[in-house]
Structure formats: C-alpha cells, structure tokens
C-alpha cells in the first residue's frame, strides 16, 4: 500500500485539530477520506466541501464514538460510499483535568466510554472490514509515559490503556498483514490547548508546541508501505517533553 491512490481511509474524530489535519493530509496523499464528527458539524462540512471542490473524495459522518451503533454505522457508510477500507485512524477522544478527590463517577465513566471503550470498539468494527494489509493508527498521548502535573490521572489511565490495547490487537490482526500502531503527541497547537501555548512552549526542550500537520505527517508515514514492518508500537512525538 504505497500512497493513497485508490485507497480509502476512515478517521474517527476528524473535524478539528489533529484529526482535521490528518484528514487533509491523507486526502492530499490520494486517499478517499471519510471522517466522523459529533458537535462540530459546520467545521466538518467545511472540510468535506473544501476537499470535494479541490477534486478530492471525502465524506463527513456524524457519529458519537461512545456509541457502538454509531461506530459501526460510520464503518458501513464508508464502505457504501467508497467501496473499501484500507486505513483507519482513531483520533476521537475527550480531555479533562481533576485531582483524584474531585473526579466524579460521571466524569470517570465518560472518559472511559470515549477514550477506552470507544477506541477499542472503533478498532474492532474497522478490523471486520479492513482490507488485508491495512493499517490502524490510534492517537494516544505522551501523558501515557509521563504527566508531570497533577489532575491528569484519569486521562493518563485512558491513554496508557490505548497503548496497551494496540499491542494485543496488533497480534490479533498480524495474520492478515494489518498493522496497528499508536501515535502519542505532546502539546499541540489546537483548541484544546488554547490559552496555554506560550506556557507549554517554555516547558518544551524545543521551546514550541507541535503543529497538527506534524502529527498528521507521522500518521501518513505509518499508513504507507515504508512502515509495513512496524506494528504494536507507540511512537511519541512531543518535542522532548518526556525525555
């Protein structure tokens, strides 16, 4: 699978930030790209229409990654629209900060529902339809390795779970030549970090945060032929935060 010509990718959580950059990059690389959104319909439609007007193939799909039926429907819609599925990127997730004494059961359950259960179900649903030799990429976080600040225990737990499940699923799908890898970004210039870019930049050895396009570039490499011998890996791209 070299390049995206004739191939199809599905990006769970592709209307904003890192996800949107991945959608744009894969489309430029020649993939037909389906992507999901929950609340950012205007942004999703703008991406879809922009890609189509430039001659790309794109489909925005409303789907809640916390609901198994929505996940399965997104995969089915992708197949119906483009006829095949070759690469899946699971980017959908939520973020929250609270120290252990302040985490409610509802907050705990919601983060587990989206960041762990939703990621697993997305990979499970995609694996049923992926072409042999396909690619699965999850978007985790460098906090799976180190947080360095209080209040991230639940988020860290969910991202460590993603890194762990990738290893097991990689073994499950290896007989079909499907690779499963995890990208762990550090602070990135997205709306989730709005207002904190300057502070985060001073904490980085490189004195800046990542641009979403840099994360998308790593994903584009993983889904290509050059990365075909790598599976079950977690690749940290964080400017040295975890060194």
Mind telling me the catalytic residues? 155
DSSP string, 84-107: ---EEEE---------TTT--HHH
Contact 51, 45 (CB under 8 A): no
The distance from CA 60 to its chain's CA centroid, rounded to whole angstroms, is 16
d(CA 214, CA 171) in angstroms, rounded, equals 28
Q: For strands 58-62 and 32-37, give the pairing.
A: parallel
Helix ranges (DSSP H) in the chain = 17-28, 41-53, 68-82, 105-112, 118-129, 153-173, 197-203, 212-222
Nearest CA to 4 out of 76, 57, 77 is that of 57
CA distance 10 to 16: 15
User: Do residues 90 and 119 touch, judged by C-beta distance below 8 A?
Assistant: yes
User: Across the beta sheet with 58-62, what order do the strands follow?
Assistant: 58-62, 32-37, 8-12, 87-90, 135-139, 179-185, 234-237
């Amino acid at each position: 699978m070299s390049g995206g010509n004739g191939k199809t990718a599905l990006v769970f959580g592709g209307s904003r930030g890192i996800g949107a950059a991945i959608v744009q990059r894969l489309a430029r690389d020649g993939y037909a790209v389906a992507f999901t959104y929950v609340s950012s319909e205007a942004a999703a439609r703008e991406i879809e229409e922009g890609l189509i007007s430039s001659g790309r193939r794109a489909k925005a799909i409303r789907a809640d990654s916390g609901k198994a039926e929505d996940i399965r429907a997104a995969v089915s819609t992708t197949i119906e629209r483009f006829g095949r599925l070759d690469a899946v990127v699971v980017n959908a997730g939520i973020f929250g900060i609270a120290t252990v004494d302040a985490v409610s059961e509802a907050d705990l359950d919601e983060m587990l529902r989206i960041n762990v259960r939703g990621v697993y179900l997305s990979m499970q649903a995609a694996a049923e339809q992926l072409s042999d030799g396909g690619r699965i990429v999850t978007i985790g976080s460098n906090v799976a390795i180190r947080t360095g600040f209080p209040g991230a225990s639940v988020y860290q737990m969910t991202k460590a779970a993603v890194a762990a499940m990738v290893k097991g699923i990689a073994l499950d799908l290896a007989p079909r030549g499907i690779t499963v890898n995890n990208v762990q970004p550090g602070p990135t210039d997205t709306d989730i970090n709005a207002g904190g870019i300057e502070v985060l930049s001073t904490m980085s050895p490189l004195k800046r945060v990542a641009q979403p396009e840099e994360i998308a570039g790593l994903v584009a490499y993983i889904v290509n032929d050059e990365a075909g011998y790598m599976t079950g890996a977690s690749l940290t791209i964080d400017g040295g935060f975890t060194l």
